[in-house]
Amino acid sequence: MMRIDINCDMGESFGAYHLGNDLEILDYVTSINVACGFHAGDPMIMARTVRQAIEKNVKIGAHPGYPDLQGFGRRNMDFSPEEIYNMIIYQVGALQAFVGIEKGKLHHVKPHGALYNQSANDREKAGAVIDAMFDLNPDYILYCLSGSLMAQMAKEKGLTVYEEAFSDRNYNEDGTLVTRSQKQALIESEEGMLQHVRGIISSNEVMTIQKKLIKINAQTLCIHGDGPHALHFARRISELNKI
């Protein structure tokens, strides 16, 4: 029996560029976050990813990001709340259409990259994302950083929230992710990843880079589909989640 939702970012290829092992990873996750064309993805990739997920009975979420193909949506950008609201509507609306054509159901929305991190504890940016989701469909679940202001605001708005932990990212003492510009940002060894994930699943705890054990509330666990060990890590985490 699964103990925690396992999600993975997918559909991040575009045009002639192929990224990730999407079809294989679908066997080991329970939900996916599909790139909607701004940071990655394109109409062909979106359609194919949605179809494959429905065939595998995997829950589908939208993964909207900043319009930043060159930086893969991971560069901080300065947009107004209105601009963020409209880019969420635009991207999630596109994925809604593909899911609807395949007679599926959109399950959740998870902001990507810099949008995810910048909106986690910024009231205006968080509010823009939350309002867009609520206006699109108040039944959509928001996937966001565990313990964040965004999680609190979304619950107050009436949205269902899955607070998220990361299988391959290190944490600071305040519960934030170590920024990718630091060497310690990623957990790259299988042993380290399994120890980290075991703590999240069994005890709701993570060891920070400051060597302090902190509590973390998580209903979903993320695997980054573009990582070099993504498929292998997904398989091992799925095994661990069934124990």
Segment 116-131 mean pLDDT: 97
Segment 5-23 mean pLDDT: 87
| Reported pTM | 0.93
**In whole angstroms, what is the distance from residue 14 CA to residue 65 CA?**
15
What is the architecture, at CATH level 2, of domain 5-166+219-226?
A: Alpha-Beta Barrel (3.20)
Lowest mean pLDDT among 101-115, 140-154, 215-229: 215-229
Comparing C-alpha atoms, which of 73, 82, 61, 76 is closest to residue 131? 82
For 68, phi then psi, to 5°, come to -150, 65
* Residue 130, pLDDT score: 98
pLDDT at 2 over 70: no
Which residue has better confidence, 27 or 226? 27
**In whole angstroms, what is the distance from residue 69 CA to residue 214 CA?**
35
